[in-house]
Structure 1
């Protein structure tokens, strides 16, 4: 590691080794509140982005993300510390978002214009964000045409990078079911995307 002057700096061994999520959970259970703040810092943006892709509203995604972390904190004593924390956390977050969608069915259909101004809240700024932003909004619009049970699998696997085994754990489904839904979701997305491109071409 180098400092700003370019000279080499040798860090102490305890600072080089990264503290794991499970180490932090142990610390939380021992009364260290700062340890939970670190867990929130590690996963807040990714969780908020996933929930936003489900509900289509930045404000709602922020509220549901906060609610998820509160729920997770209250359930930490039930967490199996031999397993990974992130799938467990995302299981709570996805279920929280699905519950919101069920309660707000009439509010869960968004136009492209209504979804503008969204995901940028959760992403790092780009030197020229407009092309990326436009594409992002198109992706969101198409995603929201896909039924939620398929959309969620597609987002967790292809957009957030969870392996199918962890998507299965998050959604509490068998892995073959997840793989089948992923296949169908990809087909739906491709068909909807191609249809949108064709309509856009015809309109211009």
Structure 2
């Protein structure tokens, strides 16, 4: 079925179009509508994938695979639900599968986006770009020590800024479970961070 000229004009004007309408248009054969969804979510999806797999090329491939799978499953999508969290759930699952196969490095983040277990920002002590680069490497190392479930929630919640309810929808868990895991993940992150800082201070003193 070809979209009418009125529908095409509506899709051309992307502002104000809700996801459910675009999904329904796509189901009716309007590929331009799906193109709007791709443009709406592509950048953030690639960024999330890159944080998980630490390879820009792989991240783009995973994002493309995500859109392909979502496109082919639209007939099963409940438009009463939010499209964005469903899309990211498919993408995150692909990213986690990739990590479980051991084909990439752990995610990379910025220390100033990690929060303590009290919810307060875990800010770096020095704004010097060189120091911040070293801290970013330290964050990458510490994230690698966390279980995948905790790591994923930290990436989504603290690095990408998804709400707890959105993270719950993405990973398929209750919001209360997400809050509990997030607290545990932040606590473990801080514990490893503090141990490594103590070890570094002792090494400097011994030297």
TM range (shorter): 0.7 to 0.9
1:103 aligns with 2:101: yes
Q: What is the alpha-carbon distance in structure 1 between the residues aligned to residue 41 and residue 93 of structure 2?
A: 16
Instruction: Could you list the structure 1 runs, at least 4 aligned residues long, displaced by more than 6 angstroms after superposition.
Output: 129-132
Distance 1:88 1:97 in 2: 14
Question: CA 1:134–1:48 in 2, change beyond 3 Å: closer, same or farther?
Answer: farther
Contact 2:154 2:186 in 1 (8 A): yes
Measured after TM superposition, the shift of residue 174 of structure 1 is 2.1
Q: Quote the residue 2:33 is aligned against.
A: 35
Q: In 2, Cα distance between the equivalents of 1:135 and 1:41?
A: 33
Report the Cα offset of residue 23 of structure 1: 1.9
Structure 2, unaligned runs of 5 or more: 1-11, 109-128
Q: Which residue in 2 is equivalent to 1:125?
A: none
The C-alpha deviation readout for 1:71-120, integer Å capped at 9, x for no partner, is 1111111111111111100110111111112223xx4455x9xx7xxxxx
Distance 1:26 1:171 in 2: 24
Structure 1 residue 50 and structure 2 residue 68: aligned? no
Unaligned runs of 5+ in 1: 1-13, 116-128
Residue in 2 that maps onto 1:26: 24
Give the Cα–Cα distance (whole angstroms) in 2 for the partners of residues 49 and 24 of structure 1.
Answer: 23
Equivalent residue for 1:177?
Answer: 177
Task: State the Cα distance separating 1:173 from its structure 2 match.
Answer: 1.6
* Cα 1:16/1:86, change in 2 over 3 Å: closer
**Hey, what does 1:11 align to over in structure 2?**
none
Alignment counterpart, residue 72 of structure 1, candidates 50, 70, 74: 70
> Aligned partners of 1:17 and 1:41: how far apart in 2?
12
Residue pair 1:25, 1:36 contacting (<8 A) in 2 also: yes
TM-score (norm 1): 0.72
TM-score, normalisation: structure 2: 0.71
CA positional deviation for 1:192: 2.7
Rounded to whole Å, the distance in 1 between the matches of 2:99 and 2:15 is 41
1:191, distance to aligned residue in structure 2 (A)? 2.3
**Counterparts of 2:192 and 2:137 in 1: how far apart (Å)?**
14
User: Post-superposition shift, 1:152?
Assistant: 0.8
Conserved 8 A contact 2:63-2:91: yes
Q: How many correspondences in the alignment?
A: 174
Partners of 1:190 and 1:148 in 2: how far apart? 16
Q: Which SS does the other structure have where 1:25 is aligned? A: helix
